[in-house]
Amino acid sequence: MKREYCGHTSMQAKLRNNTDRWAVILAGGDGTRLQPLTRVISGDDRPKQFCSLFGGPTLLERTKHRVAQLLPVEQTLTVVTQTHEAFYKPWQESKARVQLFVQPKNCGTAPAILLSLLRIIQHSPTATVAFFPSDHYIANEPLFMSHVESAFFEAQRHPKMIVLLGVKPDTPETQYGWIEPEISLWQQSPAVFGVRRFWEKPPAIIAPRLMRQGCLWNSFVMTGRAGAFLQLTRRALPELCQSLSEITSVLGTGEEQTALQQVYSTIQPANFSSEVLACWPNYLLVHPVSGVGWCDLGEPGRALSALQRSGLESLPIAGKDENRHRASITYLRDYFEGISLARKFERNEDSGTAIGVQGD
């Protein structure tokens, strides 16, 4: 995708050397939807971000490597959950310069994002922050990160706005969130558009229409000034913001974990996409992304399709003994598609509706 900045190329060059930019990697989820596949691969119930789906590095390690192409390790915060300690503990014990923010439990993306912002503001009150989920596959990582660079640029041009990366779709996907751009706005900057509304997992009858209308997949990769994120979250979730702001003074100290345990025992889970972003589209911009081979590895069928596109033909899987075995991806796809079909049959049978070939 050709990027234009209306004569601001010199500003873009300066931004590349800007030390006031931070990254947050969201790695606190439980990965339950993909667990049937990750359990086959790893032999345990580890969340997908700690699983080596593509061989070699885990999904989280791949995300960290991707982010490091643009942002220094010292300014990258990784949010994890205490219940997953066995999987991130090797990082804590290594000499790697890894900044971890440990939640007592998974309460959704909103508390994780809000607390990471409060921690970053302690170091850099005027920071511009990019958020990255840790469970994505991206075929062309350098091109994708060049789009993140563009999003940083636009976020600093529009300091009150949050810039989302919207992926141009190649299929009418019903398991993704979609962004409907407001084409008539922000014409002065062809790199971004306003946001009209969100469509969360649209039904099969709606998704093709969204694709024809130029809607984009919501990657949940986003950039913005830390202050813009905080302001939007206060508008949408004032009680959560109040609860978490009360422990700001102990973040990064020896009292942090005790304070987090107390506050997490009182807050309710909250989703940043549906409870913050979708409620305030007027404060959002979307930067279209294409040609990067992006995929959200949310469920087995989609993950196995991505593995096939990457050129893999088989996967190492855990056996009953300590040895590793290999299974073809085609076999695994057939296996999980069979499970999915069987579950659909069971649900329809329970509701009194039969699936299959009708009789005479």
Task: Give 198-220 pLDDT, tens digit per residue.
Answer: 999 999 999 999 999 999 999 99
Residue 13: is its pLDDT beyond 50?
no
Q: Under a CB-based contact definition with an 8 Å cutoff, are residues 89 and 98 in contact?
A: no
Percent of the chain with pLDDT over 90: 60
Nearest to 177 by CA among 327, 298, 39: 298
Q: How confident is the model at residue 172 (pLDDT cuts 50, 70, 90)?
A: very high
Domains in the chain (CATH in brackets) are 19-144+218-267+291-305 (3.90.550.10)
Looking at residue 95, what is its pLDDT? Answer: 52
Residue reference for tokens 């993306």? 109
Looking at residue 320, what is its pLDDT? Answer: 52
Which position has the higher pLDDT, 58 or 322? Answer: 58
Task: Supply 125's token pair.
Answer: 């009150």
CA atoms of 287 and 191, how far apart (whole Å): 6
The structure's pTM equals 0.86
Mean pLDDT of 263-275: 95
User: Picking from 195-199, 271-275, 336-340, which range would have the lowest pLDDT averaged per residue?
Assistant: 336-340
Q: Name 130's Cβ contacts closer than 8 Å, sequence gap at least 6.
A: 21, 22, 23, 24, 67, 71, 148, 151, 152, 221, 222, 223
Looking at residue 324, what is its pLDDT? Answer: 60
Task: Give 288-317 pLDDT, tens digit per residue.
Answer: 999 999 999 888 878 888 777 877 777 777
User: First CA to last CA across the chain, in angstroms?
Assistant: 55
